[in-house]
Amino acid sequence: MIKIKNLSFKYNKDFVLRDISLEIKKHDFIGIIGPNGAGKSTLTKCISGFLKNNKGSIFLDDKLIDNYDKIELAKRVSIVTQQSYYEFDFYVKDIVLMGRFPYLKFWQNFRKSDEETTENTLTELELSHLANRRLSELSGGEFQLVMLARALNQNTDILLLDEPAAHLDIHHQIRIFSILKKLNEEQKKTIVVVSHNINLAAEFCDKILILADGEIADFGKVKEVIEENKLSKIYQVSVKVVNNPFTHKPNIVYDYEK
């Protein structure tokens, strides 16, 4: 579905992504992990077509990302970035409704069906009570959930999410990842999610990509990638992989004394 071939990217002088080749298949649920500054956000922005002028090529269904027009691409790929900033202090219900924008003709107003879809999305993310609040009146976690709601409302088959659970409490972290899992399993959506929470990624994702210093350090099934020596080296923290007694997925614990 998405093929990345020898992708390199630099903002200024130095390359922050180097020679990345990667295939994201339809229905994949991939977690991207790796240290701060490794290039995770840059990679998601390149895949979404937001950052251009990279070396190498990114194909979506055998067509170069750069050759898609904006609206066409917005029907296929949605992205939630790590930092979002809005010039105008929108109402929550309006910002989520804007996710439907790619489906309108240029002369068309939002339709009744767009408003219904928006209400359903707000309910699904337990956000209905915030519908009439303005963005400036939200907590950090609420704002993050609203950004996710907007992306889900766009109803694309590919979702790129950059740390969607970073400001969330454990109930909402698990809820977000459960919703993503359901979308992946029931609607066959392709999901790429950046997370610093390695255990959450190991629990819910099918594959893990480790980015370190602009390069792919590993990519594969969760059980193959979540490995203590590798993670200890990459993060320079002593970790041990244990078995989650509830789910039997590999989880990591840290040796805080080393």
Binding site for ligand ATP (CB under 6 A): 11-12, 16, 34, 36-42, 82
- Of the pair 82, 199, the CB lying nearest Mg ion is at 82
CB of 61 to ligand ATP, least distance (A): 25
Count of CB atoms situated within 10 Å of the CB of 91: 15
Task: Residue 198: name its binding partner from Mg ion, ligand ATP, none (Cβ under 5 to 8 Å by kind).
Answer: none
Question: Helix (H, G, I), strand (E, B), or coil: what is residue 128?
Answer: helix
CB of 109 to Mg ion, least distance (A): 36
- The stretch among 39-47, 90-98, 101-109, 181-189 that binds Mg ion (CB under 5 A) is 39-47
Q: Got the DSSP string for 188-247? A: --EEEEE-S-HHHHHHH-SEEEEEETTEEEEEEEHHHH--HHHHHHHHTS-EEEEE-TTT
Q: Taking Cα atoms as reference points, which of 47, 50, 1, 4 lies closest to residue 28? A: 1
CA distance 83 to 62: 30
Find the binding residues for Mg ion in span 80-99 (CB under 5 A). 82
CB of 82 to ligand ATP, least distance (A): 6
- Of the pair 10, 249, the CB lying nearest ligand ATP is at 10
Q: Which residue has the tokens 């009146």?
A: 137
- Of the pair 15, 90, the CB lying nearest ligand ATP is at 15
- Told to check if 251 binds Mg ion by CB under 5 A, we report no
Task: Residue 76: name its binding partner from ligand ATP, Mg ion, none (Cβ under 5 to 8 Å by kind).
Answer: none
- Of the pair 7, 96, the CB lying nearest Mg ion is at 7
Task: Residue 12: name its binding partner from ligand ATP, Mg ion, none (Cβ under 5 to 8 Å by kind).
Answer: ligand ATP
CB 58 within 8 A of CB 22: no
CB of 91 to ligand ATP, least distance (A): 29
- Of the pair 77, 97, the CB lying nearest Mg ion is at 77
Query: Phi/psi class of residue 37: alpha, beta or left (left: φ > 0; alpha: ψ in -120 to 50)?
Result: left
Q: Taking Cα atoms as reference points, which of 249, 65, 256 lies closest to residue 160? A: 65
Of 41, 118, 155, 195, the one binding Mg ion by CB under 5 A: 41
